């Protein structure tokens, strides 16, 4: 019999369902979750301030690079490496899908290379120079050598951005490219998002910038750092 846990999820995004949520799935495998207005545990993200009104134990769960504020949250789960026993390091790409998708056990390398009839791809929705100016600079410099196809909203040059925001359309777009520029928004220890993971799923060689500890999570021979 599963132990019952009184819990709630808030500030997780306006379009995000509480039950169709990664941490809800994980916890529901071990506990009987009771969603209520006066929970013992409140799981929150950074998309609002409702969590400040709750008196239960607050757990920050984020995929962003922000450091947790333990004057607000009691515990934290996220992609940054934080030297604090209250923090659990969970890389953001883990939420994207299973590791089996990027393990190259039975790959037909010659067939994969033959299918790569395009040079390099770039998929970015918006540019924030305060966080990372390297990404757009690199895209522009590499484009002078050979055109780079941009499938996102930023510098789109393929006739329009990819449909939707899901991984499927992005990965299918990347499959025909030899390389993919997958720079993070920030260079923080442990902060590795879905960007390098998606490129590896598509068997498109990642050109990576970001997490200084990335070689602890991915084989350094499998991407350009």
Tens of pLDDT along 157-210? 999 999 866 788 999 999 999 999 999 988 999 999 999 999 999 999 999 999
Considering the domain architecture, whether residues 79 and 124 belong to the same structural domain is answered as no
Domain edge (last residue) among 28, 59, 90: 90
* Cα 144 to Cα 137, 139, 148, 154, distances in angstroms: 11, 9, 9, 17
Considering the domain architecture, whether residues 79 and 116 belong to the same structural domain is answered as no
Give the model's pLDDT for residue 129.
63
Give, to the nearest 10 degrees, the angle between helix 167-174 and helix 194-201.
50
Average pLDDT over residues 52-62: 93
Considering the domain architecture, whether residues 121 and 212 belong to the same structural domain is answered as yes
Q: Buried b vs exposed e over 148-181: b needs ≥16 C-beta within 10 Å?
A: bbbbbebebeeeebbeeeeeeebbebbeebebbb
Considering the domain architecture, whether residues 78 and 14 belong to the same structural domain is answered as yes
Question: Token match 């490496």: residue?
Answer: 81
CA dihedral 153, 156, 160, 164 (to 10 degrees): -30
Band of pLDDT at residue 96, cut at 50, 70 and 90: confident
Considering the domain architecture, whether residues 151 and 123 belong to the same structural domain is answered as yes
Considering the domain architecture, whether residues 110 and 216 belong to the same structural domain is answered as yes
Question: Token match 């510098």: residue?
Answer: 155
Considering the domain architecture, whether residues 114 and 213 belong to the same structural domain is answered as yes
Average pLDDT over residues 58-75: 94
Residue 69: which CATH number?
A: 3.40.50.11650
Contact (CB, 8 A) for 196 and 211: no
Considering the domain architecture, whether residues 76 and 119 belong to the same structural domain is answered as no
Considering the domain architecture, whether residues 78 and 182 belong to the same structural domain is answered as no
Considering the domain architecture, whether residues 80 and 187 belong to the same structural domain is answered as no
Contact (CB, 8 A) for 205 and 218: no
Considering the domain architecture, whether residues 49 and 158 belong to the same structural domain is answered as no
Residue 204: which CATH number?
A: 3.40.50.11660
- Please state the domain count of the chain: 2
Domain edge (last residue) among 90, 112, 144: 90
Cα of first residue to Cα of last residue in the chain, in angstroms, is 48
pTM, two decimal places: 0.87
Band of pLDDT at residue 109, cut at 50, 70 and 90: confident
| Domain with 151 in it | 99-222
Domain edge (last residue) among 33, 68, 90: 90
Considering the domain architecture, whether residues 47 and 110 belong to the same structural domain is answered as no
CA dihedral 137, 125, 208, 62 (to 10 degrees): 130
């Amino acid at each position: 019999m599963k132990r019952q846990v009184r819990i709630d999820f808030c500030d997780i995004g306006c379009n995000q369902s509480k039950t169709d949520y990664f941490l809800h799935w994980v916890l529901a495998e071990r506990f009987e979750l009771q969603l209520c207005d006066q929970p013992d545990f409140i799981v929150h993200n950074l998309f609002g301030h409702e969590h400040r009104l709750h008196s239960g134990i607050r757990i920050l769960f984020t995929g962003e690079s922000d450091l947790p504020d333990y004057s607000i949250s009691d515990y934290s789960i996220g992609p940054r490496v934080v030297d604090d026993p209250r923090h659990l390091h969970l890389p953001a790409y883990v939420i994207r899908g299973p590791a089996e998708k990027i393990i190259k056990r039975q790959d037909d390398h010659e067939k994969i290379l033959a299918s790569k009839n395009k040079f390099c791809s770039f998929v970015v929705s918006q540019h924030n120079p305060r966080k990372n100016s390297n990404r757009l600079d690199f895209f522009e410099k590499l484009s002078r050598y050979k055109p780079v196809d941009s499938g996102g909203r930023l510098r789109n040059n393929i006739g329009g951005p990819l449909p939707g925001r899901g991984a499927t359309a992005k990965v299918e777009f990347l499959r025909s490219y030899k390389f993919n520029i997958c720079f993070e928004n920030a260079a923080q220890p442990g902060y590795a998002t879905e960007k390098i993971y998606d490129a590896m799923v598509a068997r498109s060689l990642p050109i990576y910038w970001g997490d200084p500890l990335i070689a602890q999570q991915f084989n350094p021979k499998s991407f350009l750092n």
